[in-house]
Structure formats: C-alpha cells, structure tokens
C-alpha cells in the first residue's frame, strides 16, 4: 500500500524558516517524481514544486521560487521542502504527492496519483 506521511509543519514567524519532510513507503520511491502541493485555509489547491526521480529536474511555482528548495533522499525514501523567508501567504496545508508518469504522443506527462494527509504550516507573528 502506498503511504506518504508529511511532517515538520508548525507555527513560524514571518521571515522564518521551516523544513517539511515526507516519508514514503509501499512503492519504489527512487522510480517516481515527487511533488509538493499546498492549500491555504478554505482555498483551492496550488502546486508548489516538483522533483524528478534522480533530482535532475526541479521546478517551482513563481510564488515560492528563490525561497523554497525541494530535495529528496532516495536512500531514506524521503522528500523534503526547505522553506525560507516565509510569509503570511505561505500559510497552508502542505501535501506531498507522487507523480505517475505516462507516455502521451511521444512525451512523458505526470499526474498526481497518491497524496499524503498533509501538514499545516502557519506563518504568523
């Protein structure tokens, strides 16, 4: 059974830092791209960042570029999100999500097939 368990959320002051972790089990972690998606209280879903299976390709939403860093440790089956210079608008539940790769018309595309339960990050003074 695929399991994704996030941790590391909490209350942090504006300008502060936090590191989120996602522990994966039930699948070959090193074979999958992984993602962070967030959801502000009462709002919709916002993709934050993606990392390929070998960390060769990394993408960020413009809203977090230069402040957040995604990484992974395939030996530990873990995904991370280092969040610096946090702002009130970063307050959200942060989900890690596995990316399922399929070939479409000669290119590979990725959708999110499994999600963790999320960890809440609150940025407030």
Partner 1 sequence: EIVMTQSPATLSVSPGERATLSCRASQSVSSNLAWYQQKPGQAPRLLIYGASTRATGIPARFSGSGSGTEFTLTISSLQSEDFAVYYCQQYNNWPKTFGPGTKVDIK
Candidate ranges 12-20, 71-79, 80-88, 116-124; the one touching partner 1 (CB under 8 A): 116-124
CB of 68 to partner 1, least distance (A): 13
Nearer residue to partner 1 within complex by CB, 75 or 102: 102
Give yes or no for residue 110 binding partner 1 (CB under 8 A).
yes
Rounded alpha-carbon distances, angstroms, from residue 84 to 18, 54, 64, 118, 124? 7, 24, 9, 19, 14
Q: How far apart are CA 45 and CA 6, in angstroms?
A: 17
Convert residues 20-39 into a mask of x (bound to partner 1 by CB under 8 A) and - (unbound): -----------------x--
- Beta strand ranges found along the chain (DSSP E): 3-7, 10-12, 18-25, 33-39, 45-51, 58-60, 68-73, 78-83, 92-104, 107-115, 119-123
CB of 14 to partner 1, least distance (A): 24
CB of 93 to partner 1, least distance (A): 9
């Amino acid at each position: 059974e695929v399991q994704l368990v996030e941790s590391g959320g909490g209350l942090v002051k504006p300008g502060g830092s936090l590191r989120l972790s996602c522990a994966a089990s039930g699948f070959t972690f090193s074979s999958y791209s992984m993602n962070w998606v967030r959801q502000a209280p009462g709002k919709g879903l916002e993709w934050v960042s993606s990392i390929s299976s070998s960390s060769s390709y990394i993408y960020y939403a413009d809203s977090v570029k230069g402040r957040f860093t995604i990484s992974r440790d395939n030996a530990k089956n873990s995904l991370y999100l280092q969040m610096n210079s946090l702002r009130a608008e970063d307050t959200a539940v942060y989900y890690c999500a596995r990316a399922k790769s399929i070939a479409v018309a000669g290119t590979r595309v990725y959708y999110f097939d499994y999600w963790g339960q999320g960890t809440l990050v609150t940025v407030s003074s």
